[in-house]
Structure 1
Amino acid sequence: MPDKKNIIFCITGAGQFLEDACKFIKKLSEQGKYEITIAFSSAGYEVLCMYGLEKIKNYAGSVILEKDQGKSAPFCGRLSKKDYDFVVVAPATANTVSKIACGIADTLVTNIVAQAGKTNTPVFILPTDAEKFQETEIPASIDNKKCESCEYLKNCPCVEVCPNNAIFLTEKKKLRINLMLCNACRKCIFACNYGAVSFGKIVEIQCRDLDIENAGKLEKIEGITVIENLEEIKIS
């Protein structure tokens, strides 16, 4: 049996393309031909949890968290040994893209990309901010206008049912969700009789021209291929 291809899949802190990235990792893993290392930026892991997608870790041979890598990101030394066949960054936030475009390597993911360039390891990047107008799904949110009719607001069932105490009532009698505590269990959605809580709501965003320009700059960097969707990655 031929040796497995070794892949580093970097995930940064964006909801855009996040579910697509998880599905792609799962598909590669199930093919049995790839050894996948998932590297999370600090924000990347936080956002993963907000969307309830932590189980993607089960499809990785190893998981690298930025918080465990300090300032020097020693994991990147493995690229120097040419242990990996290629690198994927998806989703790549505007912040990460701008740093890569300017040659800055001061985070786990930007260090991985920089080190890949030094070892001729191909890099595929899926930027979140490549087009002016885009649609994206947001994590759990509350429409407080729908809460105005709720007679149970002081003892809101959404608050009571949350296992992580992520939902709270402000002094101004507005319900809020602390997304740092939310694990997307969706129990609050089923507890609310007024449809005030939603998950995966689609919103339109307008990307900054600066961020779109930076995404375009990536195409000029040797060894980097900018993609519009993950299916563009052709793996032999």
Structure 2
Amino acid sequence: MTEPDRRRVLYVIVCAAGPAGDVGKLVTLAHQRGWDVQIIATPSALDFIDVPALEARIGRPVRSQYRKPGEPRSPKADAIIVAPATYNTVNKWAAGISDTYALGILAEAPGLGIPVVVLPFVKVNVGPK
């Protein structure tokens, strides 16, 4: 496949928060708009998503760690969306901490010119008045 024929690739970075279980809706919307999707989950997010179902939908493994030698590379990202983005991930990214595969991808994106959209999800505890 030549470069102009290549479908656009959207990386969906999923963090460990309640809305993570709905990431399949985002996959559907991306597919409807002609995007291929690569899901990258933080290690904690794996407990929030249905990995086998998502892998069946996207046709590739859900990634949560760096690949091992000999494993295939993920396709090059054309855009990245972080949804839901937790307070922890946003703050580590801002501080330059790259202790997970997901944060490594986010750290590299600006230098590679890859646009990133972040949808924060922060649980706010509101006490009695």
Task: Tell me the TM-score normalized by structure 2.
Answer: 0.76
Q: Secondary structure at the match of 2:48?
A: helix
Paired letter, 2:80: V
Higher-RCO chain (CA-CA 8 Å, sequence separation at least 6) = 2
CA drift of 1:61 comes to: 3.4
CA drift of 1:104 comes to: 1.4
Q: 1:32 & 1:57 partners in 2: Cα distance?
A: 19
CA drift of 1:54 comes to: 4.8
Which segments of structure 1 move beyond 3 Å, counting only runs of 4 or more?
Answer: none
Q: Does structure 2 retain, via aligned residues, the 8 Å contact 1:39–1:63?
A: no
Paired letter, 2:36: E
Paired letter, 2:66: Q
Matches for 1:74-223 after TM superposition, within 5 Å: 83-129=76-122, 205-206=124-125
Matches for 1:34-73 after TM superposition, within 5 Å: 34-49=35-50, 54-66=52-64, 68-69=65-66
Give unmatched runs, 5+ long, in structure 2: none
Task: Tell me the TM-score normalized by structure 1.
Answer: 0.44
| Counterparts in 2 of 1:25 and 1:61: CA distance versus 1, 3 Å | same
Q: Does structure 2 retain, via aligned residues, the 8 Å contact 1:22–1:56?
A: yes
Q: Does structure 1 retain, via aligned residues, the 8 Å contact 2:12–2:40?
A: yes
Greater Rg by CA:
1
Cα RMSD (Å)? 2.9
Q: 1:85 & 1:65 partners in 2: Cα distance?
A: 17
Q: Does structure 2 retain, via aligned residues, the 8 Å contact 1:86–1:121?
A: yes
Paired letter, 1:101: A
Paired letter, 2:125: Q
CA drift of 1:78 comes to: 6.3
Cα deviations across residues 85-132 of structure 1 (Å, max 9, x unaligned)?
A: 101111111111110121211211110111111101001111112xxx
The share of aligned pairs that are identical, in percent, is 24
| Counterparts in 2 of 1:85 and 1:65: CA distance versus 1, 3 Å | closer
Question: Does residue 1:12 correspond to 2:5, yes or no?
Answer: no
